[in-house]
Structure 1
Amino acid sequence: MPLPFLTADRAFEDAADTALPFDDRDQWRRPYRPGPYRVGAAALLLLLASYVLFASVIIAAAGDTSAASVCGGIAVLIIAAALRLLRMGTWVSARGLRHVAFLKTQTVPWNNVVTARTVQQPVRWLGLPRTVQGQALILVRRDRQGEQTTLLTSHNGDFLGRATAFDRASDSVEVWSEEYRSQR
């Protein structure tokens, strides 16, 4: 079974001669692998969902179908949360840049992007309220009078403890931005 998210880093490593190593640039893709903290949290959620599904089978075997269906519904919500957690991140294509958060997705066409740049600033550690000094990839938008949006940080679930992966991901998003802003 092909796992396209595992080929993202390999494609960048194999294609040293080009900054945008993908043939089909109209397809949305994340130019980095999900980090170990994000994958670990999703795995724990899926493990919890398996226990809840097993509990719903036991409840259904005991004869209480309404409680079993509620338990099954909770398991489906946990599975949906795990899948959304894995989907979170910054995605690029020839059409624009897409920032996927847990509850919200924003798509910005390349002609509305002023710049995407890496800056040194306090960033949230694993999305928690605690901030530490780190790097962030900032998107400046034209359609919102220069509003800055943080796309990636060096201390989020994808890049904590993986500085080279953050550098590679932020560089590739910057290259996508430069190439497609110049074409529009």
Structure 2
Amino acid sequence: MPLPFLTADRASGAMDEAVLFDDRERWRRPYRPGPCRVGAAALLLLFASFVLLAGVVTAFTATLSSAAASFGLALAVIAGTLRLLRMGVWVSTRGLRHVGFFVTRTTPWPQVAEVRVVQQPVRWLGLPRTVQGQALVLTRRGHGAQDLPPLLTTHNADFLGRLAAFDRAADVVEAWAEENRSR
């Protein structure tokens, strides 16, 4: 089974062709999730499998209500993990979508004034601690200097320690913005 993300073409930019498909109407993330996000999701799914196993054992040895609580906890962990994997920036010809854990913001391309990379203090892995880094920020038309969270940063779960991947993703999102704002 070929694994395109492990090939040597990764450094040459062939990965961008694999990420951007012909159907531009569908929402898609123009970059791959980072190792921190995927690793956290794997650990959470491992935890969910243990909770499911505990639920099965509890169903056979104890009350059904305690087994249902175990199954409910496992389902909540699985749902949270799936949401964690969906977090990020998604683009289509309709606009730009910033998916957070609890909130999703969609901005149609006509409302986008500018998408650019700035040097600023950014949150490290979403925690309150800030470090100096780069951020891809969105400026909307007619909303002034509204405080919108950065779309991407060099220190979030997708790009921590992967500056080249951040640069590629920022370039792709900026290219989508430039191409679709002019329509």
Which residue pairs with 1:175 in the alignment?
175
CA distance in 2: counterparts of 1:170 and 1:113, whole angstroms: 15
Stretches (4+) displaced over 4 A: none
- The number of aligned residues is 177
**Who is 1:69 aligned against?**
68
Identity between Structure 1 and Structure 2 (%)? 62
Instruction: Give the letter aligned to residue 89 of structure 2.
Output: T
Name structure 1 gaps, 5 residues minimum. Answer: none
Partner of 1:78: helix, strand, or coil? Answer: helix
| Structure 1 segment 18-97 matched on structure 2, within 5 A | 21-97=20-96
Residues 148, 176 of structure 1: alpha-carbon distance in 2 compared, 3 angstrom cutoff? farther
For the Cα contact (< 8 Å) 2:113–2:140, is it kept in 1?
Answer: yes
Q: Aligned to 2:13, what secondary structure does the other structure show? A: helix
Tell me, which stretches of 5 or more residues in structure 2 are unaligned? Answer: none
| TM-aligned CA deviation for residue 142 of structure 1 | 1.3
CA drift of 1:23 comes to: 1.1
Q: Is the 8 A contact 1:45 1:82 kept in 2?
A: yes
Q: In structure 1, how many angstroms separate the alpha carbons of the residues matched to 2:15 and 2:169?
A: 14
Give 1:92's aligned amino acid: V
Residues 15, 48 of structure 1: CA spacing in aligned structure 2 closer, same or farther, 3 A cutoff? closer
Alignment-mate amino acid for residue 14 of structure 1: A
Distance in 2 (CA, whole Å) between partners of 1:96 and 1:42 is: 27
Please report the RMSD computed on the Cα atoms of aligned residues, expressed in angstroms.
2.5
Q: CA deviation at 1:47?
A: 0.5
Partner SS, residue 114 of structure 1:
strand
C-alpha separation between the residues in 2 aligned to 1:74 and 1:114?
43
| Kept after mapping to 2: 8 A contact 1:141/1:148 | no
The match for 1:126 is 125
